Amino acid sequence: MLAYLRIIANPRDNEAILRVINFPRRGIGDKAVQQLLDVVSGTGGILYERITDIEGDKTMPPALIKKIAPFGKLLTDFEDKARTAGIQEIAAYVVSALGLQELYGGDDDEDRARLLNINDFINGLAEYEERNPNASLDGYLQSVSLYSDLDEADESDFVSVATVHSAKGLEFDVVFVIGAEEGIFPIVRSSGDVDVEEERRLMYVAATRAKERLYMTYAGSRFMYGDRKYSIPSRFLTEAGMTAKSKDDDKFSIYREQKPRPQSAPQIFIPPPRPIASEVKDTSGFKAGMTVRHRKFGLGKIERLVEAGSNVHAEINFEGVGILTLALNFAPIEIVE
């Protein structure tokens, strides 16, 4: 995504062009790329201009033109869109034009993680524009970096950001595990299934990366899929003896361990949670197949209901928006008779 935005901001960025020339896969292999570079090098010109105007290029072999032309048309469309759209709108257009929702529409962990990353990326762009009213694409790109390589992590003074999977085998003095919330860790797949044992093993991996201190955090609410949802702390926190549920309500409080801890064990710190709304809405009337109305997204059809602790999540297919997962206890949704 960043590489495509770099091309839109600077068509002379050959590195970014070569990074995405075959993403998503469009049959442009290494041989075709090298052939393209050889022709451009031999006859001169700017790579971007040669690609976007390749159909009228007499110096290119017909077979190469056939492979490259759709990519050139795509870049031209992005350039046209960027003339009238803001940063977040441009990125959303790129996602749609590339068909990433369909590309990662499977139900395995990798596809789901990629879609979550893309959604978070789009949300981040919207927040960036909100904080910077005169924001430009160039300005945004200057504030981010593509470089991230955990394999070269050392004892230098910096923060490493990683998924739990990529952190396997590594150790750090201090570790923050974020997103310890139902639906995120453990993750709830679009089918409604939760592989609790696998998720529990991953939580163990995350926790044991810490040599001295371990912080586990969760948000009182989270902005996801264009809507703010209230969160439920992960069941793993209670299972590990880190938090305890109050008998009076659904709020979580810090569990203070009474047994002495071995000196070699990591010290566990849990920031106090933000209060969770105590007023619970009756969700018993919501059924799969039912038509509902959301205050922001309009009419939609409930595809599936998924229980998540004391809450119920609904996958709703909204007209013109697509499928969103919302917490029925808190979402502004009403049943359409």
d(CA 86, CA 84): 7
The domains of the chain are located at 2-141, 154-269, 291-335
- At residue 248 the predicted structure's pLDDT band, cuts being 50, 70 and 90, is very low
Structure confidence at residue 178 (pLDDT): 92
d(CA 251, CA 331): 19
236-253: average pLDDT: 59
- How many residues are there in the chain? 337
DSSP 170-191: --EEEEEE---BTBBTTBPPTT
Tell me which range, 226-235, 258-267, 282-291, is most confidently predicted by mean pLDDT.
282-291
Tell me: the pLDDT tens digits for 28-69? 999 999 989 988 888 888 899 999 988 888 888 888 989 999
Helix (H, G, I), strand (E, B) or coil at 333: strand
Structure confidence at residue 269 (pLDDT): 41
303-321: average pLDDT: 77
DSSP 93-118: HHHHHHTHHHHT-SSSHHHHHHHHHH
- At residue 189 the predicted structure's pLDDT band, cuts being 50, 70 and 90, is low
Can the peptide bond before residue 266 be classed as cis, meaning omega within 30 degrees of 0? Answer: no
Structure confidence at residue 232 (pLDDT): 86
- At residue 18 the predicted structure's pLDDT band, cuts being 50, 70 and 90, is very high
Of 50 and 337, more confident = 50
Structure confidence at residue 266 (pLDDT): 40
Structure confidence at residue 191 (pLDDT): 56
Residue 315 burial (CB count, 10 A): 19
**Max Cα–Cα distance, the chain, nearest Å:** 80
139-148: average pLDDT: 64
- The answer to whether the Cα torsion of 49, 53, 56, 59 is positive or negative is positive
Tell me: the pLDDT tens digits for 190-213? 555 678 888 899 999 999 999 999
308-325: average pLDDT: 75
Residue 192 · residue 306 · CB < 8 Å: yes
Secondary-structure percent of the chain, ordered helix, strand, coil, rounded to 5: 40, 20, 40
* Reported pTM: 0.48
Question: The domain at 2-141 falls in which architecture?
Answer: Orthogonal Bundle (1.10)
- The pLDDT mean for the chain works out to 79
Structure confidence at residue 259 (pLDDT): 40
Query: Does 277 have pLDDT greater than 80?
Result: no
Query: Does 92 have pLDDT greater than 70?
Result: yes
- CATH class, 154-269 region: alpha beta
Residue 327 burial (CB count, 10 A): 23
Examine domains 2-141 and 154-269 and report if their fold is the same: no
Tell me which range, 69-83, 128-142, 223-237, is most confidently predicted by mean pLDDT.
69-83
Residue 53 · residue 33 · CB < 8 Å: no
d(CA 84, CA 258): 61
Q: What are the tokens at 322? A: 């697509």
Query: Does 310 have pLDDT greater than 70?
Result: no
Q: What are the tokens at 278? A: 């105590």
Structure confidence at residue 203 (pLDDT): 92
Structure confidence at residue 260 (pLDDT): 41
